[in-house]
Structure 1
Amino acid sequence: MSNDPRVIIDENPMNWRQYVVVFLMIALNALDGFDVLSSAFAAPGITQEWGVSRDALGIVLSAELVGMGFGSIFLGGVADKMGRKPTILLCLSVMAVGMYMAHAATGVTILTIWRFLTGIGIGGMLAATNAVTAESSSKKGRSISMALYVIGYPLGAVIGGFVAQGWLLVEYDWRAIFLFGAIVTAALIPIVWLLIPETPAYYAALRPEGAVAKINRSLRAYAKTEISALPILAENAVKPKVTAILSNPRLRPVTLLLAFGYMFHTITFYYILKWAVQIVADYPPGYAPAMAASVLTYANIGGAAGGFLFGFLLSKWDIKWPTIAMLLLGSAAVMTFGLGRDSLEGWRWATVATGFFTNAAIVGYYAAFARGFPAYARATGTGFVLGVGRLGAAGSPIIAGYLFTLLGNDELLAVSTIMALGSIVSAFLLWRLPIRDADADLAEAPAGKPAG
């Protein structure tokens, strides 16, 4: 019987408690999806109340994305030092405060600050919940658990969209969206506290004082066999560092091409997610905020469908060319979005198409992260790539807002065409990427030393 708790979790069937933990991670990712896009749902109301220009609104819409970058870097590290569970509780608290204070904001500047703070919590949450999902699932159930976890993000936006357009924006105003998010976020804190144990993998990696007892407490929660001692560490065990993904001559091109490819795609991806509601509200004949918000719901329905279908097909196909196809089709869908529509139903189906293809490409990139980095540098490489990607995500609403100001609010096709170029550049960089099985190719070579 193995003394490695990671092997015990990997090789044994999942019990009900593990399924509960995975379900809660999906729910937390869905909450992140709603919280990130809450400012987009609220954008028309904010514009009407305060008369915000499009370039200024772009900064508001980018605030939580910038915060997510900081949260991923700083709070992601906290999850490796303090633990996954304490980090999730900390992030939920930060998010609840940020959402509540955003609903009480009295101007653009203070709203931007609170959205930035909310983004910090969301960024840390993404790092921690991703780890918990992987480390609480068996080897057999991990793929489906991770797929459902990823889909939780657009599903949260879909559910939140129905709540926003069908209730909050009908009965109240834009502030109710942030207040609703604060209440749901706060309600999840005691649930996480009671139902989620710290992962055995975290204790096995950190080896704190009393590690065996702490690991056994988590294993008992999962109804797994307890251990008597931790396995002895190999003297030459590799400790991943960010320098490994940049100093290793085999990993460097993979890292840079993935990082900048993902970054350029997020420019296109977040243009629709952050601007579609405002565009539809302003486009003649114009629609009420609650009606305009429905297009974002449809975009995320398309995103969930595209992500699920493409994730399933990737188990049968290779990664590179299907993802390039999704990038190019997503770019074309964004360009056609810029042609405008004469009905709300037309706008909805246009955003379904953009969501389907652009989110499918996101799933392709996540698969490439897993393939492109060896085990000893996978978390470091993925974190670096996502961190660079946040630059594109944060810059996208600002770039679009500046383009509308520069070219004019009527130049939807021109702005959409320019924003669609991000996915085309991404497709070119992915075409240059030598996707191979990094674990086999590098044979788990030590950091900085190429295999063979």
Structure 2
Amino acid sequence: MTPTRPVVNVDSVLDGVRFQGLPLLVTICAVTILVLDGFDIQIIGFAAPALTQEFGIERKALGPVLAAALLGMALGAFAGGSAGDRWGRRPTLIVSMAVVGAATLAAAMAHSLEALTFWRLLTGIGLGGTLPNATALMAEFAPPRWRSQAIAATIVGVPIGGMIGAAIAAEIVPTFGWRVLFVVGAMLPLGMAVWMYFVLPESARFLATRPDRHRDLASLLGRIFPGQSWKGDEQFVLASPAEEQSAGLRTLFSRSFARDTIAAWLVFLTNIFAVYAFFNWIAVVLTSVDLDIATAVRASFVFNLAGVIGAVANAWIIARYGSRWPLAAMALIAAAALWWLARLPLGGEASQALLPSLLAGVAIAGLAINAVQIGMYAVVAHIYPTACRSSGVGWALGFGRLGGILSSFGGAMLLSLGGSQGFFGGIGLAMVLACASLLLIRNHLPVMAAQHPKS
């Protein structure tokens, strides 16, 4: 008679983990990944004014270069999310970071807009693969009590990276040019890929869905819980219902998830339009109203710094009061700040006189827009179970990147048709649409959701 294999509920085991050891190491890795992503995502925006001068082009000619990375990020999010669910979060993250570094280094040596556009497309593919897998890894490693805050701390790495990048760009670009900035932006992710190869573990919940890797899972659980041991011949299971244990796009549009999938995609579409309109065009917009490039780049720093503050504060609020109303309120605050910016009569000497009001509006918009963006990562990771979490996050981000692509051309159109007022007003309308879409999501993080998340 074959002895009964002991059943181990991996979700229950991991829900007792403390935020130290491997979970803390994963958090550090994920935050660092997103900091470097934030740098490389926004690097083209920091270099945009210098690019127009070097290549002798008008601002609108940068649209394809700006859109290339965003198109790549959409493709990378679709492919990277599926790859993470099929082959694991760890290998997908390592390969994605290596692609980011290699393509950014190649872009530093580009001598035509066509070459730069191609390398930015490849950079975007790498960037797109990192975000869904870093989010899934954090959702599957962090203790329940800290899960939404840990995801927020991870994704807040994007504005932190942008903030660091803006500070570096303000010093490097005027003195050494944009190519040196790109070399710096290449070396860091390449080094990170090597470091992750040696230290980053695979997700225990992912391993639980792969019977042929249960010995790896037993070893990993032994590292997470040093006082306990597993042999690898146990029957490892997850708490998710059996019908949710299939991955793929069809699952995202099943009866259980269809409404939330569509609504989440619309939030990402409109909010990413707003985020990337700032990332890609704020320096160009402000130099167009007679502010110098250093001041324009520092406005990007203000946008990102305020975004970090907003994301951290909003994560704390969401953990206590749920995600629906805090995120909706942030979207409306962003729309109000953008309406304020659209009313400022910028241009000539007035721009310098109105600089404090301008920066205050940029800060409030940055705080609220980034709070929505980063809060939505926690929401979309909560909506889907382990088997399709990377795919769910990846497809939401991939669809959202269409908003980023639209911002590459739409930002130029808004600026040319309505100046700075049209630019800020158009983004404000996008945030109103983001608020409406947020309210359509049914499966928001509830009050104190971090203690009882979806597995």
TM-score, length-normalised on structure 2? 0.86
SS of 1:158's partner is helix
- Asked if the contact 1:268–1:331 (Cα under 8 Å) also holds between the matched residues in 2, the reply is no
- Asked if the contact 1:298–1:348 (Cα under 8 Å) also holds between the matched residues in 2, the reply is yes
Separation of aligned partners in 1, 2:223 and 2:444: 38
The alpha-carbon distance between structure 1 residues 266 and 236, as it changes in their structure 2 partners (threshold 3 A), is closer
- Asked if the contact 1:95–1:121 (Cα under 8 Å) also holds between the matched residues in 2, the reply is yes
Larger deviation: 211-220 or 90-99?
211-220
Report how far residue 375 of structure 1 moved.
6.9
* 2:399 matches 1:388: yes
Alignment partner for residue 320 of structure 2, among 306, 312, 316?
316
Separation of aligned partners in 2, 1:434 and 1:227: 38
- Asked if the contact 2:208–2:236 (Cα under 8 Å) also holds between the matched residues in 1, the reply is no
Corresponding residue number in structure 2 for 1:257: 263
Corresponding residue number in structure 2 for 1:445: none
SS of 2:18's partner is coil
Say which structure, 1 or 2, has more relative contact order (CA 8 Å, 6+ apart).
Answer: 2
- Asked if the contact 2:135–2:377 (Cα under 8 Å) also holds between the matched residues in 1, the reply is no
Corresponding residue number in structure 1 for 2:220: 218
Corresponding residue number in structure 1 for 2:436: 428
- Asked if the contact 2:40–2:185 (Cα under 8 Å) also holds between the matched residues in 1, the reply is yes
Report how far residue 428 of structure 1 moved.
2.6
The alpha-carbon distance between structure 1 residues 201 and 261, as it changes in their structure 2 partners (threshold 3 A), is closer
Report how far residue 40 of structure 1 moved.
0.6
Report how far residue 5 of structure 1 moved.
4.3
Report how far residue 257 of structure 1 moved.
2.3
The alpha-carbon distance between structure 1 residues 282 and 76, as it changes in their structure 2 partners (threshold 3 A), is same
Query: How large is the RMSD of aligned CA atoms in angstroms?
Result: 2.6
Corresponding residue number in structure 2 for 1:266: 272
* 2:92 matches 1:92: no
Corresponding residue number in structure 2 for 1:191: 195
How does 1:159-308 map onto structure 2 within 5 Å? Answer: 159-165=164-170, 167-208=171-212, 211-224=213-226, 225-228=228-231, 229-231=233-235, 236=242, 238-248=245-255, 251-284=257-290, 286-287=291-292, 289-308=293-312
Corresponding residue number in structure 1 for 2:162: 157
The alpha-carbon distance between structure 1 residues 193 and 437, as it changes in their structure 2 partners (threshold 3 A), is closer
Corresponding residue number in structure 2 for 1:68: 73
Alignment partner for residue 418 of structure 1, among 426, 430, 444?
426
How does 1:398-413 map onto structure 2 within 5 Å? Answer: 398-405=409-416, 407=417, 411-413=419-421
Report how far residue 423 of structure 1 moved.
1.1
Count, aligned residues: 429
Corresponding residue number in structure 2 for 1:11: 16
Corresponding residue number in structure 2 for 1:77: 82
Report how far residue 323 of structure 1 moved.
2.2
Report how far residue 379 of structure 1 moved.
4.9
Alignment partner for residue 27 of structure 1, among 22, 32, 43?
32
SS of 1:3's partner is strand
TM-score, length-normalised on structure 1? 0.86
The alpha-carbon distance between structure 1 residues 217 and 184, as it changes in their structure 2 partners (threshold 3 A), is same
Larger deviation: 358-367 or 17-26?
358-367
Separation of aligned partners in 2, 1:18 and 1:437: 22
Report how far residue 269 of structure 1 moved.
2.6
Report how far residue 81 of structure 1 moved.
2.6
SS of 1:293's partner is helix
Corresponding residue number in structure 1 for 2:3: none
Report how far residue 125 of structure 1 moved.
1.1
SS of 1:316's partner is helix
Q: C-alpha deviations, 1:289-347, integer Å up to 9, x for none?
A: 33321111110001111111111112232433332222122122223333233255544
Corresponding residue number in structure 2 for 1:104: 109
Residue segments in structure 1 that go unaligned for 5+ positions in a row: 439-452
The alpha-carbon distance between structure 1 residues 232 and 404, as it changes in their structure 2 partners (threshold 3 A), is closer
Q: C-alpha deviations, 1:258-309, integer Å up to 9, x for none?
A: 222331222223212221111122222x30x333211111100011111111
Q: C-alpha deviations, 1:132-177, integer Å up to 9, x for none?
A: 2223323334333222112111111112222221x32243111111
Report how far residue 372 of structure 1 moved.
4.9
Residue segments in structure 2 that go unaligned for 5+ positions in a row: 1-5, 447-455
- Asked if the contact 1:203–1:214 (Cα under 8 Å) also holds between the matched residues in 2, the reply is yes
How does 1:38-77 map onto structure 2 within 5 Å? Answer: 38-77=43-82
SS of 1:336's partner is helix
